Chains A and B, each alone.
Chain A
């Protein structure tokens, strides 16, 4: 696979993941975007903060791979 094709594959994968929020790649695993709500935290110095919400990418390896 040449680098140009590889970049195209990656771009399609990223766009599909952002749009669909979950993508299963055969032979590799499942990528998913998980939303974390804002939550209250207390730091060691006693400061109490409300951490902002965020969307982050998680990966779960498929059983057949590795």
Chain B
């Protein structure tokens, strides 16, 4: 309960002195702090905190133990992770992480994998494009002779890549003068080089297409297998109709020996298939119903008390109100135990927050959400 009494009145009562004497003590104490601030710029008060002058203002930083005492209800609480940190490699494109996702981890992983795949796709093409560019730059800078030698090297590399049977890699080796001229003309033309670069890139594209075809075929097979499993696999045990069949088979057999399929069909029509509908399991998540023992869940804490009996009273009150109460203990420091009374069991923080908004007062406005493990 809040008390409107001044510190002077309280001090006088606690120390059994008059209010005037209490006021004098307070003034002396304040003056001591102000003096220290004026002289040294700061004043440390043991077991209370430190006053500091900064930018013409006086700032106060509480002592660590005093801060813990003030925050005893929530002492030791750690942040609850909603979304993990980004991965460090290849994560330029990311989904919106500010919203609280329900199940977006898989989506994020896929989006992270995609840029890596795209990089892999482009790398052989990039290499070929780079080579084409390099060939263009070399042309502009070097004279014709040097171009020819440079072209020799490129043609040698390209011919090694091609599956052609031509072993004469160097077009200028052992060739006639005419061939040299034609080769020189061809090599000097920038268009031919562009075509060669395009052909090499086309070769790379064809290679990539075949890879994707293989991957696509495997994906189709996988999907077909899954669908087959879903629609054709029946794990339910068959009803033991063996005895009935034996008795009924004899009768139609006596009538006619030819028909063997009909008795089976008749049996299927006659034998009633009883499927037992299992009872609905108790709701695992939510803020109504009974408490469900589980290893990990998120709850809305509405009371954090040091008195066990009072905590149990609040627990019963919540249960009587038709809500699902939870009771957990927490030790902020050695020798002290906090009894946390909560409402509901939830799978995610988002669900807990939505449920908290539906709770009646005062729980609606005074609560906090924690993860129980």
Show the binding face of A for B, using Cβ within 8 Å. Answer: 1, 5-14, 16-29, 31, 33, 37-38, 40-43, 45-59, 61, 65-66
**Residues A57 and B79 in contact in the complex (CB < 8 Å), given A38-B368, A43-B85, A47-B85:** no
Does A49 contact B27, Cβ atoms closer than 8 Å?
A: no
A-B contacts, 19 of them at CB < 8 A, read A1-B32, A6-B29, A9-B26, A13-B48, A17-B70, A19-B3, A20-B3, A21-B2, A28-B30, A28-B33, A46-B85, A46-B94, A49-B81, A50-B349, A53-B74, A56-B62, A57-B67, A58-B60, A66-B34
Residues from 82 to 137 in B contacting A, C-beta threshold 8 Å: 82-86, 94, 97-98, 100
Residue of B51, B70, B82, B368 with most chain A CB atoms under a 10 A cut-off = B70
Q: For the complex, what is the distance from the CA of A54 to the CA of B329, rounded to whole Å? A: 18
The verdict on B45 contacting chain A, using a C-beta distance below 8 Å, is yes
CB distance from A24 to the nearest CB of B (A): 7
The verdict on B369 contacting chain A, using a C-beta distance below 8 Å, is yes
The verdict on B77 contacting chain A, using a C-beta distance below 8 Å, is yes
B30's closest neighbor in chain A, by CB? A27
Show the binding face of B for A, using Cβ within 8 Å. Answer: 2-3, 6-8, 10-11, 14-15, 23, 25-34, 37, 45-49, 51, 53, 57-60, 62, 66-67, 69-71, 73-74, 77-86, 94, 97-98, 100, 349, 368-370
Does B82 contact A40, Cβ atoms closer than 8 Å?
A: yes
Q: For the complex, what is the distance from the CA of A22 to the CA of B45, rounded to whole Å? A: 19
Does B26 contact A27, Cβ atoms closer than 8 Å?
A: yes
Give which listed residue, B8, B47, B57, contacts A10 with CB less than 8 A: B47
Q: For B67, list chain A residues within 8 Å (CB).
A: 56-57
Q: For the complex, what is the distance from the CA of A50 to the CA of B60, rounded to whole Å? A: 27
Q: For A38, list chain B residues within 8 Å (CB).
A: 368-369
Residue of B28, B59, B71, B97 with most chain A CB atoms under a 10 A cut-off = B71
CB distance from B10 to the nearest CB of A (A): 5
